């Protein structure tokens, strides 16, 4: 009875105390905010990102995150449809090429510098932030950097008594030796082939395909020479035509080297390393005396915030978590490349994660001092398709490069207008 009386007394006192307080003294319940987050990726990325969102939710109990993810091609199609309808996610993983297609004047996304009191931008250098800056506005935060990189099975080159190539002529000489055994010094996919032939043309002419204002500089004759050089690589057995490549050519010794993005290093090289082969990073191939390298770097992806988001503060908290948090660093590791954020790098260094062929390729890029920031028009899908179509007609139907160059040139012209 005494316990009930005491409890009643406490309740009565609490009610009286609450009644005596003014409205300004009452602490309201925290209202939950829902934001959306879209990205692309395969199962591994999807799984750890979903896990990361659960951790973010525990750290930010008033923020609910709706997730939307798919493969790259589907994500791109949906992104442009949603963007046109102003229905894109609050936080988005975007491709570098999308940044300029959707925000060519720095108007397409939220300026992240306006949220720098929430997103710690000091973990990035200004040079790194420049990759996401358009017209002076920070439209996206780069996650990591990517560049076409040369990987070689040094055991194969040693078997033929060959030094690793540093010039284009070295590759042709290697082909003369290796071709008797149907071994190719290099392999490339279609994008790598386009960027490699473009690099060669920039090297021999000393001019970029597009200038700093995205104006087309190359002429029809330049594109003719690009096609001719690709044919020389195939005819000289430096490479096998990319349409004939098989998944395990590098692994099986059909190709003694490969040129692919840093982000693909583990996929193409790790199986060889696991079998005990000595896989090494090579030089960026140059034409002797060239004034520019012709090779380019770009972000693997960027995080952007919807310009018209109703919840910029909550979206900014999510972006900061994605690029700077210990939780995300440990879950993501180097799966999206070697992070640019110094906060993430410190976590991975302490975790002894920064090792392996991808890390070595990233160090090659960081220390080279000769890689230019890519102009996104170079990777315009229509321009890549035009190159692919021209190459197919040239190799399969015997069409002359001079006949085909106009179509590639016209695709470049159209790209420069967007």
Query: Looking at the structure, do residues 159 and 235 belong to the same domain, yes or no?
Result: yes
- Same domain for 306 and 320, yes or no, is yes
Length of the chain: 418
Q: Do the beta carbons of residue 258 and residue 268 sit within 8 Å? A: yes
- Are 102 and 193 within one domain? no
- Mark whether 79 and 158 lie in a shared domain: no
Report how far residue 49's alpha carbon sits from residue 261's, in angstroms, rounded to the nearest whole number. Answer: 22
Those residues whose C-beta lies under 8 Å from the C-beta of residue 202, and which sit 6 or more positions away, are 208, 209, 292, 293, 294
Residue 278, C-beta contacts closer than 8 angstroms, at least 6 positions apart: 153, 154, 155
**Of the candidates 308, 324, 340, which is a domain's last residue?**
324
Distance CA 116, CA 100 (A): 22
Cα four-point dihedral sign 330, 336, 338, 342: negative
DSSP-derived secondary structure for 375-407 = PGGGG-HHHHHHHHHHHHHHHHS---HHHHHHH
Do residues 184 and 374 make contact, with C-beta atoms less than 8 angstroms apart?
A: no
Tens digits of residue pLDDT in 177-199: 999 999 999 999 999 999 999 99
Residue among 163, 166, 104 at smallest CA distance from 139: 104
Cα 125 from chain centroid (whole Å): 18
Listed residue (368, 315, 304, 360) closest to 334, CA to CA: 360
Has residue 396 been placed in a domain?
yes
Distance CA 325, CA 38 (A): 19
pLDDT tens string 16-27: 433 344 333 444
- Residues of the chain predicted below pLDDT 50: 1-29
Question: How many C-beta atoms surround the C-beta of residue 334 within 10 A?
Answer: 22
Domain of residue 79 covers 33-144+300-324
Q: Do 108 and 70 lie in a common domain?
A: yes
Token pair for 1: 């009875």
pLDDT score of 253: 94
pLDDT of residue 156: 97
Q: Looking at the structure, do residues 158 and 127 belong to the same domain, yes or no?
A: no
Q: Are residues 124 and 239 in the same domain?
A: no
Q: Is there a single domain that holds both residue 152 and residue 104?
A: no
Give the integer Cα–Cα distance in Å for 73 and 145. Answer: 21
How much is the pLDDT for 13? 42
Strands 33-40 and 63-70, sheet pairing: parallel
Please check whether residue 320 lies inside any domain of the structure.
yes
Q: Give the pLDDT score at 24.
A: 38
Tell me what pLDDT residue 30 has: 56
Please give the structure tokens belonging to residue 122.
């000091």
Any idea what the CATH number is for the domain that residue 106 is in? 3.40.190.10
- Looking at the fold, whether 162 and 252 belong to one and the same domain comes out as yes
Q: Where are the alpha helices (DSSP H) in 28-179?
A: 43-59, 72-84, 96-102, 126-129, 154-159, 168-178
Q: Which residues pair with 288 in a beta bridge?
A: none
pTM: 0.86
Give the pLDDT score at 62: 95
Q: Can you say whether residue 352 is alpha, beta or left, with left for phi > 0 and alpha for psi between -120 and 50 degrees?
A: left
Residue 188, domain member (yes or no): yes
- Structural tokens at position 153: 């099975």
Q: Is 25 part of a structural domain of the chain?
A: no
Q: Does the CA dihedral 240-246-247-251 come out positive or negative?
A: negative
- In the predicted model, what is the mean pLDDT of the chain? 91
Q: Sign of dihedral through CA atoms 183, 189, 192, 196?
A: positive
pLDDT of residue 20: 40
User: Is position 138 within any domain?
Assistant: yes
Contact 397, 365 (CB under 8 A): no
Is 362 contained in some domain?
A: no
Domain-located, residue 21? no
**65: which 2 tokens?**
């995150």
Please name the helix (run of DSSP H) or strand (run of DSSP E) that holds residue 161, with its range, or none: none
Query: Domain total for the chain?
Result: 2
Residues 6+ apart with CB under 8 A from 77: none
Give the CB-side neighbour count of residue 131, counting CA atoms within 13 A. Answer: 27
**68 backbone dihedrals φ, ψ, rounded to 5°:** -145, 115
Neighbour-count burial of 141, counting CB atoms closer than 10 A to its CB (0-12 exposed, 13-18 middle, 19+ buried): buried
**Co-location of 108 and 174 in the same domain:** no
Are 170 and 228 in a shared domain?
yes
Residue 153 lies in a domain: yes
Do 81 and 211 lie in a common domain?
no
Using one digit for the tens of pLDDT, what is the confidence trace for 278-292? Answer: 999 999 999 999 999
């Amino acid at each position: 009875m005494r316990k009930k009386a005491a409890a009643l007394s406490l309740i009565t006192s609490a009610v009286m105390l609450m009644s005596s307080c003014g409205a300004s003294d009452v602490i309201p319940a925290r209202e939950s905010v829902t934001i959306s987050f879209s990205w692309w990726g395969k199962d591994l990325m999807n799984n750890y990102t979903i896990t990361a969102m659960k951790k973010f939710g525990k750290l930010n109990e008033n923020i609910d995150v709706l997730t939307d993810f798919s493969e790259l091609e589907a994500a791109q199609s949906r992104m442009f449809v949603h963007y046109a309808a102003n229905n894109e996610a609050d936080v988005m993983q975007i491709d570098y090429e999308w940044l300029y297609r959707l925000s060519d004047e720095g108007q397409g996304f939220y300026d992240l510098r306006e949220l720098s009191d929430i997103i710690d931008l000091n973990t990035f250098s200004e040079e790194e932030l420049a990759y996401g800056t358009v017209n002076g506005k920070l439209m996206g935060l780069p996650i990591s950097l990517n560049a076409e990189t040369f990987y070689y099975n040094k055991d194969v080159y040693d078997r033929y008594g060959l030094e690793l190539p540093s010039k284009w002529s070295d590759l042709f000489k290697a082909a003369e030796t290796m071709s008797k055994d149907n071994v190719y010094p290099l392999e490339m996919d279609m994008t790598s082939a386009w960027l490699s032939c473009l690099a060669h043309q920039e090297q021999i002419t000393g001019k970029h395909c597009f200038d700093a204002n995205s104006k087309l500089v190359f002429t029809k004759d330049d594109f003719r020479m690009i096609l001719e050089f690709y044919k020389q690589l195939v005819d000289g057995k430096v490479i096998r035509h990319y349409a004939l490549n098989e998944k395990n050519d590098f692994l099986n010794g059909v190709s003694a080297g490969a040129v692919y993005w840093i982000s693909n290093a583990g996929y193409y090289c790790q199986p060889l390393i696991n079998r005990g082969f000595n896989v090494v990073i090579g030089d960026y191939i140059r034409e002797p005396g060239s004034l520019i390298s012709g090779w380019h770097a770009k972000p693997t992806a960027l995080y952007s915030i919807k310009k018209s988001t109703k919840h910029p503060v909550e979206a900014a908290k999510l972006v900061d978590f994605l690029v700077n948090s210990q939780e995300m660093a440990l879950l993501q590791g180097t799966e999206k490349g070697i992070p640019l954020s110094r906060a993430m790098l410190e976590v991975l260094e302490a975790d002894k994660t920064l090792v392996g062929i991808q890390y070595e390729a990233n160090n090659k890029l960081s220390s080279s001092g000769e890689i230019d920031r890519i102009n996104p028009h170079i990777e315009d899908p229509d321009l890549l398709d035009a190159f692919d179509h021209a190459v197919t007609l040239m190799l399969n139907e015997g069409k002359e490069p001079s006949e085909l160059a106009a179509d590639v040139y016209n695709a470049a012209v159209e790209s420069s207008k967007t």
